[in-house]
Amino acid sequence: MQQLRPVTRLRSTVCRAGGVLVALVLLLPAAADETTRDRRHLLLGERRAEIFDSLKSELVATREWALQRGLTDAAAEIDRQLNAAGPLYSSSELPALLRADASAQLPPVESLFQQRMIRIRSEHASRLYTLARSALRSDFPSLAFSMVEEVVRIDPDHRLGRSILGDEVFVDPARRGEPGYNGEWVSAFEKRMRSGRSPHVDHPRFGWIPDSAVDRYEEGLRPWRGDWISEGREQELRRDFRSAWEIPSENFLVRTNVGLEEGVQLSRRLELFHAWFRQHFAAFFETPAELEDRFERTVRSSRSSRPRPLEVHYFASRAEYQEQMRGKLPPGIETNGLYWQPDRTCYFFDDPESSDYSTMYHEATHQILDVATADARRTAARALAAKFRQRTVEEWTLCSKSNFWIIEGLACYFESFAVGESGEISIGDPAWIRFDTARQRLLDPAFHFYLPAEQFFGLGMNEFQQHPQISPLYSQASGFAHFLMHYEDGLYRDQLIELLAAIYRPDPKNVLAQPSFYRITGVRWQTLDQQYHEHMRNLEDQLRARAAKSRQQSSLIPEP
């Protein structure tokens, strides 16, 4: 067992300007019977597994059919299809190009193979899409949207699935008429950027720039106040953060004096994170009626108003960052990043000693959740002031009475978000330090700490932040977030999101009721305690199996 690695530095905080503590409240309807909901979730999982088993069986048979006829490339295509769909914690970029029409000039056997593959993909994608609709109506929206993503992995041109994911067809004028090119699946933002009188391109180094400016950028020239200057001159000018680079993207505006290319890479990671977050937490951002509408509409409008971008400031040094933080944090508190709620901005700096983006994902979680629901809390704050006949409307304080663990626990959970070299996304790796520490603090007698679930969920902001065991509480919050996201293939995931939505979107008609996970789930606190222990022991088994496999593979490597 690895040595416990306690968190000794305060990595993040959500800061606010002034205000008194206000009770967060929301009356919730009684939960459905626990056993009934478990059975529904289990049945959906079994039906999903049956669809994938059937898909795999047909693909394996078709692969054998192709090999018998010498179609080795076709067999390799099936191998890729077999690995197309992955679980929640591992996914990759969806195919962008629309499927090319089967050429009438293909030899008969190749044409037959193409037709067979289209039929297999279409049939199984349709079955899974129908199941996704059932999952949504059974009150499992995150499961439903995960299934929709799998639908598109099986059949990349499934139009209903693509529409739900927000994709639209775009035909690049420069590629129109190109053999085998039928168009691309892109977001509404990308379609807008690549269209019009001055189309932009997403350059791999420089981000979104006018197509007409690509040659000058690649020659080392940069736009500056209506003219073009050298790259070196631009770097000198933008070293002053007042003249920082500005990198706009679909949901963010990154300002940085580190470098244009560094800012572009940061922006792209933020957009990947935002897209994953919005997709898998759809029930937080949209009402049940809006989610149902996404499944009902086959065509989405790309003319909806664009929200104000989420602003991120990325400084070239810690000293510049700390200067910017002066007055925002009490003296002596050291952070690696910060979401400052009053100006809705995230602040980071280029840290040469760190190569991961965990702090950025942590703070971006606070920012995304806060900005998306700020209006709802302002409405609730006004309702609270009116109820007590107060002239001054105080800022709404999240989790002042209970449930504070979820604010930091989810942000810590999302620190595990990672993007691989091939673009694959992973999240919730049991070996991530937050989860590994939570596991050790529960199961290792030398480091044992555990607050029973009822008491843990009952901690408000001040009780949590002033607790003498603050570091173990952060570990347990990380562990509980992992547990509720992954236990029994996400049994509690949608109810976790429901609690999160109740916290961030208080009901102005019921401003004196506390959100309750027990009331949402109907699950006894003692049951949650037992299941959390079970989940952590399962993570320990996974880590041991992983270590054993690694040792076995190492033993097979011949010595030099």
pLDDT digits (tens, 9 = 90+) for 194-206: 998 999 999 999 9
Tens of pLDDT along 252-280? Answer: 999 999 999 999 999 999 999 999 999 99
For residue 292, what pLDDT is reported? 87
Q: What is the pLDDT of residues 209-252, one digit of tens each?
A: 999 999 999 999 999 999 999 999 999 999 999 999 999 999 99
| Placement of tokens 């709802």 in the chain | 376
- Spatial CA neighbour of 282 closest among 149, 407, 86: 149
Q: State the pLDDT at residue 402.
A: 96
- Positive or negative, the CA dihedral 548, 5, 497, 534 is positive
Max mean pLDDT among 62-66, 110-114, 537-541, 554-558 falls in 537-541
Given a contact cutoff of 8 angstroms between Cβ atoms, the answer to whether 65 and 98 are in contact is: no
391: pLDDT strictly greater than 70: yes
Q: What pLDDT does residue 511 have?
A: 87
Lowest-confidence segment of 67-76, 215-224, 310-319, 472-481 by average pLDDT: 67-76
33: confidence class by pLDDT, cuts 50, 70, 90? low
CB 264 within 8 A of CB 206: yes
Percent of the chain clearing pLDDT 70 (strictly above) = 89
pLDDT at 454 exceeding the cut of 80: yes
- Indicate if the pLDDT at residue 532 is higher than 60: yes
Query: One-letter amino acid identity for 224?
Result: W
Are the C-beta atoms of 266 and 312 separated by less than 8 Å?
Answer: yes
Chain-centroid distance of CA 460 in Å reads: 26
Give the start-to-end residue ranges of the domains of the chain: 48-157
According to the model, what pLDDT value does residue 560 have?
Answer: 58
CB 173 within 8 A of CB 197: no
Name the one residue in this structure whose structure tokens are 């990043």: 337
Number of residues assigned to the chain: 560
- In angstroms, the CA 85 to CA 208 distance is 30
Quickly state the pLDDT bin for 298 (edges 50, 70, 90).
Answer: low
- Residue-wise pLDDT tens digits, 346-386: 999 999 888 889 999 999 999 999 999 999 999 999 999 99
Residue 309 DSSP code: P
User: How far is the C-alpha of 189 from the C-alpha of 303, rounded, in Å?
Assistant: 10
Q: How far apart are CA 275 and CA 43, in angstroms?
A: 28
Global confidence as pTM: 0.87
**Bigger pLDDT: 222 vs 14:** 222
Residue that the structure tokens 């950028």 belong to: 217
Mean pLDDT, the chain, as a whole number? 88
Q: Are 275 and 293 in contact (CB under 8 A)?
A: no
| Rounded-to-integer distance, Cα 40 and Cα 491, Å | 10
pLDDT band, residue 332 (cuts 50/70/90): confident
Confidence band (pLDDT; 50, 70, 90) for 475? very high
Q: Mapping DSSP to helix (H, G, I), strand (E, B) and coil, where does residue 201 land?
A: strand
Spatial distance between the Cα atoms of 78 and 377, rounded to a whole number of angstroms: 50
Of 11-25, 322-336, 500-514, the one with minimum mean pLDDT is: 11-25
Give the C-alpha separation, 275 to 442, whole Å.
33
- Helices 405-413 and 470-486 pack at an angle, to 10 degrees, of 70
Helix, strand, coil percent values for the chain (each to nearest 5):
55, 10, 35
Helices (H), 388-491: 405-413, 433-443, 453-457, 461-465, 470-486
- Whether the per-residue pLDDT at 23 is higher than 70: the answer is no
Across 261-417, the runs of DSSP E, i.e. the strands, are: 310-315, 337-340, 345-349
Q: For residues 495-509, give the mean pLDDT.
A: 95
DSSP-assigned letters across all residues of 244-304:
-EEEE-SSEEEEESS-HHHHHHHHHHHHHHHHHHHHHTHHHHS-HHHHHHHHH-SS--S-S
Residue 25 predicted with pLDDT over 80:
no
Rounded mean pLDDT of 182-193? 94
Position 238: which residue type? R
Neighbours of 523 (CB within 10 A): 19
The pLDDT tens digits of the residues spanning 124-173 come to 999 999 999 999 999 999 999 999 999 998 999 999 999 999 999 999 98
Average pLDDT of the segment spanning 490-505 = 96
When pLDDT is averaged across residues 548-557 and rounded to a whole number, the result is 78
Asked if the model's pLDDT at residue 21 lies above 90, the reply is no
pLDDT of residue 396: 92
Find out whether 441 and 476 touch, Cβ atoms under 8 Å.
yes
Q: By CB neighbour count within 10 A (0-12 exposed, 13-18 middle, 19+ buried), where does 18 fall?
A: exposed
DSSP β-ladder status, 252-256 and 245-248: antiparallel
